[in-house]
Structure 1
């Protein structure tokens, strides 16, 4: 079993599998020039789609720590 240290100094076995159970979702990020007033219609300057949700974010963090993330989610 290989071990590596995290920035906090704790050792985590790198062959550890982290299982996440929950909701994976998509986050829609829209940029606008200014915050709209009530009932205003404005145009966006950019639109991005990113993975998100509780399980998506947690498994991304686990992967960045060098762990092996797996997820179970309802489709």
Structure 2
């Protein structure tokens, strides 16, 4: 498991970044992913659990943002 250093922000997945549709993944919430992309431009990394952001649309989980 990757333990980020520095300030950590956790963002809930279902109902925050996407609409509630458990056990499926709901539609993207308005501006949620755009906001995460803007944070990424400011050198704020984000993770979907220990796996990595490449699985973010397939894994309902908590997104963890690491602020350096």
TM-score by length of 2: 0.22
From the two aligned structures, give the one with the greater strand fraction. 1
Structure of higher CA gyration radius: 1
The structure showing larger relative contact order (alpha-carbon pairs under 8 Å, at least 6 residues apart) is 2
Give TM-score scaled by structure 1 length. 0.21
